[in-house]
Amino acid sequence: MKTTLLYPSRKSTLLASLTVLFSFIFSIQSYATTDCGHISGFQFSNGNSSVDIVDGGTYSISDLPSNFYIDVLVTGYSESARITVKNKNTGQYVTVFENYLPYTFPNGGSALNYGPGKYRVYSKIYKYNNCQSSSCDFEYVDFTLTNTPPCGQIEGLEFSNGTDTVAIVNGGSYDLGSLPSNFYIDVKVSGLTESAFNRVRNLDTGEVFTNGENVLPYTYPSGNAAWNLGTGTFQFYSEIFKYNNCQGTKCDHICITFTITEDTCGEIAEYQFANGTDAITIVDGETYNINDLPADFYINGLVSGNSESFGYKVTNLGTGEVYNIIENYIDYTFPAGNAAWFLGTGTFEVQGSLFSGNYCGGTKCDDETITFTLEDVVEEVCQAAAGNTITDETVFLIAPGVDNPVVTIIPGPDTVLPENYSYATLLSKNNVIRYMATGLSLELVQPGNSFKVHLLVYDPTTLDINTITLGVTTTQDILDTITNNDLCASLDSEGVAITIINGGVDEKMAVDDVKVTVDPIKNNTQIVSIDEKSETISGNIDIKLYPNPVVDDLNVELLLLDSEVMNYNMVDLNGRQVLSGSFDNSTFGKTKIDARSLASGLYILSFKSNFRTFSKKIQINK
């Protein structure tokens, strides 16, 4: 019988192998019975601090932990993970594998350096290393990264001028004199901000003022300009934004109420055109002829109460030109320093503002705006003058069988008839116009004791005498029409009194009271001697006029008083003066009138001195 022996060394090796085999089998059975893990979420983490990632969330890189990575949070059992990060803006993606917890992207807890953008993170976890076997769980999350820094905050408000400051407390009251000179309101901020919007409401008047600021300091008014809203109770609202022009996130806001008071503050009373001597009050909307204003005028802003300065803004509304000045001393004038107006004619708007401090600082006490128009109109001087009315007679007779008498006005030396103007003769009783006629003559048709004859000089294109209603219109009515319509016309409203008598032929001869004697012709000269009643202090007039009719020269012989100078003028029946002159006792009351240039016709020769006035009719024959 053959027996096989087992050597001890070989037995040991076999036993060890069996032991390992059974251990492996039991180990596999143990793994097979362990539960697979789950993904519970994602975080931005750096190992010390973390921020949960919410699907669809937006995160500022500056708000996240420094040197952060993406951490895939798991529960249960797992030995590896596959992590893919996709940039949704570019479409690029990167995948990493992790065999050790924590499962991170990038591997090993390295810092994420992808910058801002939109991302999606996919992750699968596995039961075994190297992502073997089937996955235990799968999750993804979308998020956005930005590099926007954190938003700023409003720390408070101050009255400031860049050097001195006073903090503004909600509900506080502040005396204007105790605040910094030329102050503004400064919105104090911290952190990142690029713009601010301010709104100031005057709670007394309801007025609202706003401004926007893109540069620190954020002030009202803009650009560190001095406060210009005066005194009162104000509500101040301010909000700051992350970006310029009040765009982007509204980081913070503040709303407070405060009161500014001042003991006294002046007012603008009126504006004047003035030159230091003469002044004309300016009425809003009025038009002024620059030639009627004081010489070398300026605009003077008259004020009452306390003030230190006055700001003018003068705008030519026709050209759009604007002129600004500041006056720190009364008189507050434009141009400054009482200089003469230099803007010429046009329509102007004057805006004036009165302040309690110099250079338009402190409280704006008052403001006043007016508009006016300046014209350069050279007004024509009216030359028309009726003068003192002179008639050929003062007593007239209406007799049966005799032509009605005609009163003729003799224009005096002070009568002026401009070119294209006309005469009208008016007859009044008790200042009411009874009769009228164009020209210098008027037929008398009704006796009535005393009447007055008036001379009217007028322009037919501007004054229609047919609007005179006989028996209704008065001499004052005519004067008022001339004045109220600024017409160039003249009426002798005083007139000259005449008497119209009703009688027979005897009365007619008595009224005429003219005695004419004709001497025999001597040397072809006929001497006419006329003795006539006249308006004279001495009664009868001793005068000789010859020849009459006149061909060449008219000789005049008149007995003059001592030192009497006699003026004469000759007019035609149209009232136009054709010649004039004077003579005195140096020629023994004699003179010769040259009539050779005159046309044939009837003329009125009037004589006037300091003592008497009378007239004669002269016939010229050629």
- The string of pLDDT tens digits covering residues 440-470 is 999 988 765 678 999 999 999 999 999 999 9
- pTM to 2 decimals? 0.31
Whether residue 598 is predicted with pLDDT greater than 60 in this model: the reply is yes
3-state helix, strand, coil in the chain (%, to 5): 10, 50, 40
503-521, pLDDT tens digit by residue? 544 433 333 433 333 333 2
Residues 471-482: tens digit of each pLDDT: 999 999 999 999
Residue found under tokens 């492996």: 24
pLDDT at 529 over 60: no
pLDDT for position 603: 87
Q: pLDDT above 70 covers what percent of the chain?
A: 87
Residue 12 neighbours by CB under 8 Å, 6+ apart:
none
CATH number of 38-146: 2.60.40
- Is the pLDDT at 21 greater than 80? The verdict is no
| Average per-residue pLDDT for the chain | 85
Asked whether the domain spanning 513-620 has the same topology as the one spanning 38-146, the reply is: yes
127-151 tens-digit pLDDT: 999 998 889 999 999 999 988 767 8
Give the CATH number of domain 275-375: 2.60.40
Question: How is the chain split into domains, by residue range?
Answer: 38-146, 153-261, 275-375, 395-502, 513-620
Q: So what's the pLDDT on residue 2?
A: 37
DSSP states along 17-53: HHHHHHHHHHHHHHHHTSPB-EEEEEEEE-SS-EEEP
Residue 4's pLDDT is 37
**CATH number of this structure's domain 153-261:** 2.60.40
Summarize pLDDT for 228-255 with one digit per residue, the tens.
998 899 999 999 998 899 988 888 999 9
Query: CB-side exposure of 246: number of CA atoms within 13 Å?
Result: 11
Burial 41-60 (b: 16+ CB within 10 A, else e): ebbbbbeeeeeebeeeeebe
Distance CA 107, CA 71 (A): 10
Residue 467 is predicted with a pLDDT of 92
Residue 525, pLDDT above cutoff 70? no
pLDDT of 504 reads 45
Predicted pLDDT at 45: 96
Class of the CATH domain delimited by 513-620: mainly beta
How far is it, in rounded angstroms, from Cα 338 to Cα 92? 78
Omega prior to 106 cis, within 30 of 0: yes
